[in-house]
Amino acid sequence: MSSASEHDLVVVGAGPGGYVAAIRAAQLGLNVGCVEEAGALGGTCLRIGCIPSKALLESSQRFVEAKEQLAIHGIRAGEVTLNLAALLRRKEQVVTTLTRGVESLFKKNKVTRYLGHARIAGSGNLTVENGGQSTALAAKQILIATGSKPAGLQGVEPRGDLIGTSAEALSYRETPKHLVVIGAGYIGVELGSVWRRLGAKVTVLEFLDRILAGMDEELAAEARKLLGKQGLEFRLGARVTAARVEEGQCVVEAEGAEPIRCDRVLVAVGRLPNTESLGLENVGIETDRRGFIPVDERFATSAQGVYAVGDVIGGPMLAHKAEEEGMACVEGIVTGFCHVNYDAIPGVVYTHPEIASVGKTEQELKKTGAAFVKGPFPFRGNGRARALGQADGFVKVLADATTDRILGVHIIGPHAGELINEAAAAIAFGASSEDLARVCHAHPTLGEALREGALAAGNRAIHA
């Protein structure tokens, strides 16, 4: 082992939490190293998460449009066929472009990249293992951003891409005839949509009596209805107890139902933090009951000089939440001050239409006994949505009944994932529904539907 390379900060993991923190720390003048065991930078998000899934959602939606929806516009296309290999190649190209982009950002910001598995050896010391080689690193501060991996399910025997996770479902070499998805969270619903659009029969088995647990119930109910119309078959209240491969076919068993035979199973029942072989015990860090690393409001762990952000600390497992924490954490290390407003972190499901939320749901507000008003507005009253031919769905603005401060916004409809950012800004600035309603929105835009929702919270929507 050569003498240790020294850094002010060593970040472990180059996902959105880690790479963003590394760049921000370098901007703030720290000498930064970042250790990543995968060959490409960008983490789950860029390699096998957000980005490839969005590339597939985009391509598969274009396929459906070309096949079924262009005629409405008076456009007649010839025979529409699918070249799945080309579609998957395009997805890989998008991923490669972005992961290389992170490499050049590291170079530009003089972040030193280390390839290998990092292990904390003791206070201020790490080792990086790569193919039998070990490199020692010394760090004044260590930031753990090791992310998460798919959770397994008791009784379900993983078997390559026959019974696999989202990582496999992003790359099936042929369209499954019948795909069974276990779990109706956002990953199950997005990837189920992709393969449904590309021609698979898709059955989603969900243990709860609803889909998209944690999202506003009204939004989730509308999503279930609209996705159901697209052919996704939801079986709710179905707890899967076993899945295995028998004579080349997959068999899935759920309580109280006949076993289902299919050719692919996607297990999408949540994600678990990555902490194995990380050397946490060498600095006395204990994980919580569910395996997450406990941190304080400045992302400090129980060990002096060791911080953690992103999926590995729990909370919403979202890339932008990890980024937010990564930036806040290093700003806290350098300046002594940092803050993340968890009430202003949006969540988006990139189905068609998109489903997006920020702030409190109606159910959360009812639970706390908060008095609130509700501003619903349907996209059928929005001119741009009509022109797009995408008038399904609605906006719902929730505001405090006394102060009118916006507490939550929930949108299912065209480009909901873009619209939600305005709502997040409003919540971050402490806006009232009247503040939002008084902002002049360009016409005809989908944003006008959000404004109408804000108007509706004061009982004065114009187009409903």
- Give the residue numbers marked as catalytic: 443
Within 233-252, which residues bind ligand AMP (CB under 6 A)?
238-240
Helices (H), 214-280: 217-229
Gap between the Cα atoms of 147 and 278, Å rounded? 12
What's the half-sphere exposure (Cβ side, CA atoms, 13 Å) at 402? 2
Rg (CA), the chain: 23
Q: Which of 91, 57, 268 is nearest to 163 (CA)?
A: 268
- 361: its two tokens: 């749901």
Joined together, the tokens standing for residue 383 give 């001119």
- Chosen from ligand AMP, ligand FAD, none, partner binding at 310 (C-beta under 5 to 8 Å by type): ligand FAD
Please report which helix (H) or strand (E) contains residue 87, including its range. Answer: helix 84-108
Instruction: Give whichever of 349 and 365 is closer to ligand FAD, judged by the CB atom.
Output: 349
Which of ligand AMP, ligand FAD, none sits in contact with 307, Cβ below 5 to 8 A by type? none
- Range list of β-strands (E), 227-284: 232-236, 240-246, 249-254, 260-262, 264-267, 271-273
Q: Residue 284 carries which DSSP code?
A: T
Which CB, 189 or 309, lies closer to ligand AMP?
A: 189
| Residues engaged in binding ligand FAD (CB under 6 A) | 12-18, 35-38, 43-45, 49-50, 53, 117-118, 145-148, 166, 187, 274, 278, 310-312, 317-320, 322, 350
Which CB atom, from 6 or from 37, has the smaller least distance to ligand FAD? Answer: 37
Element (H, E) at 377: strand 372-378
Q: Residue 213 binds what, of ligand FAD, ligand AMP, none (CB under 5 to 8 Å, by partner type)?
A: ligand AMP
Residue 310 or 393 with smaller CB distance to ligand FAD = 310
Pair 265, 279: CB distance under 8 Å: no
Which residues within the stretch 283-312 sit at the binding site for ligand AMP (CB under 6 A)? none
Task: Report how far Cα 377 is from the mean position of its chain's Cα atoms.
Answer: 26
269: contact with ligand AMP by CB under 6 A: yes
Q: Which is nearer to ligand AMP, 187 or 431 (CB)?
A: 187
Binding flags for ligand AMP, 138-177, as an x/- string (CB under 6 A): ---------------x------------------------
Contacts of 194 by beta carbon, 8 Å cutoff, 6+ apart: 53, 56, 57, 60, 169
- Our finding on whether 179 is near ligand AMP (CB under 6 A) is no
Q: Which residues contact 258 (CB under 8 A, 6 or more apart)?
A: none
Residue 393 interacts, among ligand FAD, ligand AMP, none and using kind-specific CB cut-offs from 5 to 8 Å, with none
* Nearest residue (CB) to ligand FAD, 147 versus 359: 147
Q: What are phi and psi of 276, to 5 degrees?
A: -75, 145
Q: Which does 168 bind (CB under 5 to 8 A by kind): ligand AMP, ligand FAD, none?
A: none
Candidate segments 168-176, 232-240, 296-304, 437-445, binder of ligand AMP by CB under 6 A: 232-240
**Residue 320 contact, options ligand FAD, ligand AMP, none, Cβ 5-8 Å cut-off depending on partner type:** ligand FAD
Question: What does the binding site for ligand AMP look like in residue numbers (CB under 6 A)?
Answer: 153, 182-187, 205-208, 213, 238-240, 268-270
